[in-house]
Amino acid sequence: MRDISFSQLGRSTNIFTNSLAGANGKKSAFAQAVSGQLKNLSQVLQTGARLNDFPDLDQYVDQLGENVDRLSEARLEEFSVDLRKEVTSTLLALREQSVVHVQLKRIASHLRILQNAVARLKGSPCQGSAGPG
């Protein structure tokens, strides 16, 4: 089993949160929740701090999923008006948001796996063991 150093976990947290920062430098609520949880996991492993409850990441993932659904409906409406399969702003947004939605689901799932692994390692009950969306 390969050991991950605490500095590597910290660097990964910084890279993650900086990559999700918007153009104005503000972190999204999802990025803040994930970053906070990664920091907590690092502290638990380093110092034996208390393991925080798993954040409600589903609300962010679900909100983005609803937006993807709305974009899909709008794209279908575009086809009903004009059957030519032109590239539109709706199509571009749908492509981008679909990829982001899938990636956020994966991040939430991987974070839950880390949370459960740390909980087992520390002998704590796995909190919020149900998988996201």
Predicted confidence at residue 123, as pLDDT, reads 83
pLDDT score of 79? 82
State the pLDDT at residue 54: 93
Tell me what pLDDT residue 18 has.
54
pLDDT of residue 13: 55
Residue corresponding to tokens 């909100």: 63
The parts of the chain modelled with pLDDT lower than 50 are: 1-3, 23-26, 128-133
| Bridge partner residues of 27 (DSSP) | 21
The predicted pLDDT at position 84 comes to 75
Reduced to 3 states (helix: H, G, I; strand: E, B; else coil), residue 100 is: helix
Find out whether 37 and 44 touch, Cβ atoms under 8 Å.
Answer: no
Residue in this structure with the two tokens 């910290």, named with its chain if needed: 10
Q: What is the pLDDT of residue 2?
A: 44
- How far apart (Å, rounded) are the C-alpha atoms in residues 86 and 82? 9
- The rounded distance, in Å, linking the Cα atoms of 25 and 89 is 25
Predicted pLDDT of residue 78: 86
